[in-house]
Structure 1
Amino acid sequence: MLFVAGSTVLGGASARAAEQADETSTAESSPIIVTASPLPVRLDELAAPVLRLDREDIEASQASTLGALLADQPGLSESSFAAGASRPIIRGMDNNRVRVQENGIGAGGVSALSEDHGVPIDPLSATSVEVVRGPATLRYGSEAIGGVVNVLNDRIPSARPSGGYSVSGGTSFDTVDQGKEAHGALNVATGNIVWHADGFRRETSDYDTPQGEQFNSWTDTSGVSGGGSVLFGNGYAGANVVHYDSEYGIPAPEDPADPVHIDMRQTKVQLRGAFAFDSWLRGIDFAGGYGDYRHDEITQSGVVGSTFKNKEWEGRAEFQHGAVGPFAGAFGVQYRDRDLSAAGEGGELLAPNTTRAVAGFLYEEMSLTDALSLQMAGRVEHVKVEGTALDTATITEYDVSRDFTPLSASAGLVWNLDGGWVTSATFQAAQRAPEAPELFSKGPHEATETFEIGDASLNEETAYSAELSARREGRGYSFAASLFHVSFDDFIYKALTGETCDDDYASCTDAGGTGTELDQVRYAQQDARFYGFELEGKVALLRTDTATYGVTGQADYVRAKLDGGTNVPRIPPMRIGAGVYLEADRFMAKAGFLHAFRQNKLGPNETETGEYTDVSMAFRYTLPEQMTGGASVKISVVGQNLLDADIRNHVSFKKNDVLLPGRNFRLVASVDF
């Protein structure tokens, strides 16, 4: 849906911590981007562009998940297993290759374990969402081979609100699922302390499709947060507590008479701060958190089939330094401690396991000429994973302890050409240690209707990537294009084997059993390569004294093959889109389409999906401030899938049985003061 397209932006935060502490604008309106670089940089100074969706983009979207929010952006898609569970996918790479985090700290759930598990971060809690690729991703973890999705908010305020306080809120209604949502946030300064509180609530019924109501696609999600920061002359430090609660149905259940839903909750404590110094050590950023997560997979009759628990600590510190010869940059450390366990059928799938990881990283920049700059990054980790695996030859379990030392490095060149063009080339070699579910899975997962088998002998996965990009931005126009290629050594993936099982491995057909309920999935390892392109642009065709009229366009394509020619399963199809827009002081209107082509490049035991065209529109009006007492009040109407097309997401495990929502109209009202 082209009208929610975000902006491509770049920047840094930490070195300006002292300036932030004295700013009079709210954190939500701050132009500083905290994930793209540890240094304060301009738009044309980073090797890889950063996609950003701001608050208006989030409110205009019907999305109840981060995956759905980002799905129509160039190079991005979603897993769309359920309305309450959809993870972002970047260039066909998903789960353990895409790191999802909040203000630099991991989400702390189990969404990467299985597609039916939602991310415990809701778009309504965000002031903006960024997608970061390139050298900067090595600052966050080896699970960021595909990229980083960072949810930004001011739950730990970094600046004093204008006038001593700020209030924001909004509400919306959707016709396709009778969805109702509301959110609000408050920042109040008392002396040099800024207090923060926010909350949200969303309820949706089963959504409509062109073929009728999608059974068991309802959601009920809420969250609340409270905390504060102390502002100093050269920075800030603060903490907050977040509670997240989400229940959602799993569509197309195996037993429609007794469907499954997930009851998810998480309590999280976060710390964050930044300080700037007038010395060789220019600044320090630090962040940390502890999350206590649990979800139950419950049938309508009240039976809890599986319970997953995740208790996770994470902390990081990043130090910005002054010149070392021609270089300026940052170095840092990161620690992660994870205890993952399951009970019931989930316990058969995954016995209790632990992951401990410690890492050091380095990010450096230097100018080669007035027009050419170099950016480099490196990361070394030590990862220890302990758990229980299954020997399929003897059908016995045994304890396993694995140690890995992933090594990663990247480099990028940025060339500022005449005429406002910026070109860049990035190269990266990144390793990822196998995650516990990839090593130790060994049982049924009823929500996905699969029997999953890990491989305790998996090696590190290594990705060698190269990307060329060009972009230009000026008054009334913008353009960006990227070509990418990624070669994997020992690519880890889920393979549908064609075998079927019941609730234990002895029932699987490849073990001599006669099971029929569950599709068998094995984690496998094989060399692979991904390649493709992304295009997007915006041009103002006519300017008057009161308005600007223009057109937009986008296209993306990814191809992924395993060594030997077999296709990687669940790769999104090629898409193209175009639109028109009108922008005035108080009024905005957009309309456009996004067309997805047929996907017939199939992995083993995978089915084809047809083409579709998603037509959308949006109108927004900002009321005059003399009518609202100085507050910014915006009213929006958004239309999605206006042709009521049958849309099946090729990436989804549920694509054969589940259509995405049909025609929807969304009414949105928001206020800031």
Structure 2
Amino acid sequence: MIQPNPSTARRTYRLLPWTLALFTTIARSQPTPPPTPEIEDAPFKPVFVTANPLRSSNLQSPSSELDGNALALRRADSLGETLNGLPGVSTTTYGPMVGRPIIRGMDGDRIRLLQNGVAAFDASSLSYDHAVPQDTLSVERIEIVRGPAALLYGGNAIGGVVNTIDNRIPRDPLDGVSGQVDASYGGANNARAGAAQVEGGNGRFAFHVDAFDRETSTERIPGFARSAGQRALDGPDVPQPYGRIPNSDGRSHGGAVGSSYTWADGYAGISYNGFESNYGSVAEDDVRLRMHQDHIAAASEIRNLQGPFSQLKFNFAYTDYEHKEIDNGETGTTFRNHGYEARIEARHRKIGPLDGAIGVQLSQNTFSALGEEALVPTSQTTNAALFGLEEWSVTDALKLSLGARYEHVRIDPASGGNEKFANSPQRDFNAGSVSAGALFRLNPAWSVVGNVAYTERAPTYYELYSNGPHDATGQYLIGNPDAQKEKAISTDLSLRFASGPNKASAGVFYSRFRNYLTEFNTGRLVNDDDGPVAPGTDDALNEAVYRGVRAEFYGIELDGAWRVFDHGAQRLDVEFVADYTHARNLDTGEALPRISPLRATLALDYAYGPYGARAEMIHAWAQHRVPDNDLPTGSYTTLGVILTYKFRLGATHWLAYVRGQNLTNQEVRYASSVVRDIAPEGGRSVMVGLRTTF
């Protein structure tokens, strides 16, 4: 096992000024400067790599992507907050440094987080206070696929897939040296963030180096940290923070190096990246979380092969992750997760009218929670899967697809001398999934797309074996060692329009689960030994159990942009996004927890030559459909403004921006947040940023 090196990311960041100086010198020494990348977004339609190994630019699965300026202007302190507000996407949020994406009301192990198509093991799906060890400063593109993407990534992608893509292993030939620098300051937590990357090559060998750093203060809020409902439950003797969220500050930093060899028909390369962070738990004033991750990746692609397969793609990643929960300076629990994932995708030559690919995926990871307050036993999870996808272009207007995946999952717990886990049984699961889709073009601008899927998901180690206190979330979690597979039938249908800069999509979705596994608060307050305690007792924990129920999810997603003015150097676009998810327990009719309400975003995007201005109004309705023992959330309306200016200095291209958020200074509490009643989102704030490429 590769041992974590806590100083690796720190050393990488300290080398940043020297790295910039070195590559600036190299760039100046070139007799003929290489072409410099434009700050402008790419004018061509991007090809999705996440949901389809055939690399179709017109996906049947509902999807979104962020790159270029759009990603730079949305960047936040967490991956979840960066994506929050895209169609069907919300965030868990556990303070400004923590946020994992939620898609169509589904979170945890139902959303597959990938780096360049493979897993980077962490502990973010186990608990809402565990950050995703990845900063969007180091990402060049994010792809989000909503709905049942199980044909490629298994049952734990039933809600969708979020794939962050970087160029740490260069995939295309590079000539000369180029780079990028990003810096920003501001926001409700006075975030100071910066990143730099340099890459280059000689047309065959290519290299990549990057480093980033982000540091934040405690977050400013418009009023009380605790909601009115929570303050009423607290009683008169509980301190009520005002104006700031205690213990919400943090820092993360890291970097990467990578190299590849490219040729006309492919590439092969390897990379290393390190990530380190230290942030506070907003639920416990004295609890800090210190996280470290080492990630090694290898990738290769070979095209234009002879024989039955025309293309072969290979991805491999090994991750060593650790984080410690430190209470009053003493380590209470240490979480570790290390393992590998490997995927091979082979695209075959056409078989009659069928164009398709098959693949195999292998993974193994070992998760442990060590300490007197261990939450789960040390558990090794092994997964082996086969999958395939076939497409048939019946006519120029009609395309059909069929995908399938079969996987075997084994979970092997070890008590490690802890009596709580002495009788934890080994579990084996065989899970199968199948999906079918159709895309029908009504005319060059309009199309109808539909998908249906049957998906099975094996329960995770924490859903099976949890039995212990988790101080960072203020819960005592109890798993179900006899839990069975989740089974779901899902479908979605959408009408799409695309003509030049104008585009729109209106879709509906429906998923019906048998044995949907989720946390339910029992209403009991307990101590670290799961013994009942009275309200107001110091260090009291909310008891929560994992339970399987019949459940259904359905909703709508609207997304569109229309150019209403285009004359000379001026243009004006109107954009609209709205989504709604309804989720309930079919056994009781009760609402499922942490479901975002109806939300709508209206934006005006204006450009005049190098100048740009964007005004965005977001309204979220109140969420009163909550389970027993949960409090509702109120409605809010926020206003945001972004001003941009693009310019050029010599061979460098620059983007300067000012971003104002929540200018109405609203109290914003996400219904999807487990800490919504003690930690709202930030108040009125302004951020300034600068981005350059050379």
TM-score, with structure 2 as normaliser: 0.88
Q: Distance in 2 between matches of 1:193 and 1:516?
A: 57
Counterpart for residue 249 of structure 2? 218
User: 1:338–1:114: structure 2 CA closer, same or farther, 3 Å change rule?
Assistant: same
- CA offset digits 1:541-587 (Å, max 9, x no partner): 12211111131111110000111311111111111121212123322
Q: Distance in 2 between matches of 1:76 and 1:396?
A: 36
Answer whether contact 2:149 2:161 (CA < 8 A) is retained.
no
Q: Where does 1:381-396 land on structure 2 (aligned, <5 Å)?
A: 381-387=407-413
Q: Distance in 2 between matches of 1:237 and 1:137?
A: 27
- CA offset digits 1:324-350 (Å, max 9, x no partner): 122111100001101001112452x11
Counterpart for residue 207 of structure 2? 195
Deviation at 1:474, TM superposition (A): 1.2
Deviation at 1:650, TM superposition (A): 1.0
SS of residue in 2 equivalent to 1:424 = strand
Deviation at 1:26, TM superposition (A): 7.2
Deviation at 1:83, TM superposition (A): 1.8
| Percent of paired sites with the same residue | 33
Answer whether contact 2:527 2:533 (CA < 8 A) is retained.
no
Answer whether contact 2:256 2:274 (CA < 8 A) is retained.
yes
Q: Distance in 2 between matches of 1:226 and 1:593?
A: 40
Q: Where does 1:529-540 land on structure 2 (aligned, <5 Å)?
A: 529-540=552-563
- CA offset digits 1:107-129 (Å, max 9, x no partner): 21010000011111111110011
Counterpart for residue 237 of structure 2? none
Query: 2:401 is matched by which residue type in structure 1?
Result: Q
Which of 362, 377, 385 is the matching residue for 1:359?
385
Answer whether contact 2:581 2:595 (CA < 8 A) is retained.
yes
Deviates more, 1:171-180 or 1:32-41: 32-41
Answer whether contact 2:378 2:415 (CA < 8 A) is retained.
no
Q: Distance in 1 between matches of 2:150 and 2:262?
A: 29
Q: Distance in 2 between matches of 1:447 and 1:41?
A: 43
Counterpart for residue 89 of structure 1? 102
2:86 equivalent to 1:66: no
Counterpart for residue 543 of structure 2? 520
Q: Distance in 1 between matches of 2:380 and 2:341?
A: 14
Deviation at 1:48, TM superposition (A): 1.7
Answer whether contact 2:320 2:339 (CA < 8 A) is retained.
yes
Query: 1:598 is matched by which residue type in structure 2?
Result: A
- CA offset digits 1:437-472 (Å, max 9, x no partner): 000000000000000000010000011001001111
Answer whether contact 1:427 1:466 (CA < 8 A) is retained.
yes
Query: 2:51 is matched by which residue type in structure 1?
Result: A
Which of 331, 335, 338 is the matching residue for 2:365?
338
Answer whether contact 1:388 1:400 (CA < 8 A) is retained.
no
Counterpart for residue 271 of structure 2? 240
Query: 2:122 is matched by which residue type in structure 1?
Result: G
Q: Distance in 1 between matches of 2:147 and 2:509?
A: 11
Answer whether contact 1:384 1:403 (CA < 8 A) is retained.
yes
2:339 equivalent to 1:312: yes
Answer whether contact 1:358 1:383 (CA < 8 A) is retained.
yes
Counterpart for residue 128 of structure 1? 141
Counterpart for residue 641 of structure 1? 662
What stretches of structure 2 of length at least 5 have no aligned partner? 1-33, 224-242
- CA offset digits 1:263-313 (Å, max 9, x no partner): 0000110011111024431101110011010000112x3111111000111
Which of 273, 281, 291 is the matching residue for 1:250?
281
Which of 45, 48, 61 is the matching residue for 1:33?
48
User: 1:24–1:324: structure 2 CA closer, same or farther, 3 Å change rule?
Assistant: farther
Answer whether contact 1:532 1:558 (CA < 8 A) is retained.
yes
Query: 1:267 is matched by which residue type in structure 2?
Result: D
The root-mean-square deviation of aligned C-alpha atoms, in Å, is 2.1
Answer whether contact 2:420 2:467 (CA < 8 A) is retained.
no
Answer whether contact 1:96 1:143 (CA < 8 A) is retained.
yes
Q: Distance in 1 between matches of 2:369 and 2:516?
A: 26
Counterpart for residue 471 of structure 2? 446
Answer whether contact 2:283 2:472 (CA < 8 A) is retained.
no
Answer whether contact 1:184 1:200 (CA < 8 A) is retained.
yes
Q: Distance in 2 between matches of 1:422 and 1:572?
A: 29
Answer whether contact 1:82 1:250 (CA < 8 A) is retained.
yes
SS of residue in 1 equivalent to 2:262 = strand
2:640 equivalent to 1:616: yes
2:656 equivalent to 1:632: no
SS of residue in 2 equivalent to 1:56 = helix
Counterpart for residue 239 of structure 2? none
What stretches of structure 1 of length at least 5 have no aligned partner? 1-22
2:186 equivalent to 1:174: yes
Counterpart for residue 8 of structure 1? none
Query: 1:439 is matched by which residue type in structure 2?
Result: L
User: 1:76–1:135: structure 2 CA closer, same or farther, 3 Å change rule?
Assistant: closer
Query: 2:467 is matched by which residue type in structure 1?
Result: K
2:350 equivalent to 1:323: yes
Counterpart for residue 270 of structure 1? 297
Deviates more, 1:469-478 or 1:429-438: 469-478
Counterpart for residue 553 of structure 1? 576
Answer whether contact 1:108 1:310 (CA < 8 A) is retained.
yes
Answer whether contact 2:283 2:474 (CA < 8 A) is retained.
no
SS of residue in 2 equivalent to 1:210 = strand
Deviates more, 1:328-337 or 1:470-479: 470-479
Aligned residues: 632
Q: Distance in 1 between matches of 2:513 and 2:533?
A: 31
Deviation at 1:37, TM superposition (A): 1.5
Deviation at 1:47, TM superposition (A): 1.0
User: 1:134–1:318: structure 2 CA closer, same or farther, 3 Å change rule?
Assistant: farther
Counterpart for residue 437 of structure 1? 462
Q: Distance in 2 between matches of 1:226 and 1:550?
A: 39
User: 1:531–1:330: structure 2 CA closer, same or farther, 3 Å change rule?
Assistant: same
User: 1:158–1:346: structure 2 CA closer, same or farther, 3 Å change rule?
Assistant: farther
Which of 355, 363, 372 is the matching residue for 2:398?
372
Q: Distance in 2 between matches of 1:252 and 1:450?
A: 10
Q: Distance in 2 between matches of 1:346 and 1:126?
A: 36
Counterpart for residue 317 of structure 2? 289
Deviation at 1:80, TM superposition (A): 0.5
2:496 equivalent to 1:483: no
User: 1:42–1:53: structure 2 CA closer, same or farther, 3 Å change rule?
Assistant: closer
Which of 105, 111, 115 is the matching residue for 1:98?
111
- CA offset digits 1:480-519 (Å, max 9, x no partner): 11100000011001010111211113x1479xxx997100
Q: Distance in 1 between matches of 2:213 and 2:337?
A: 24
Which of 48, 68, 75 is the matching residue for 1:55?
68
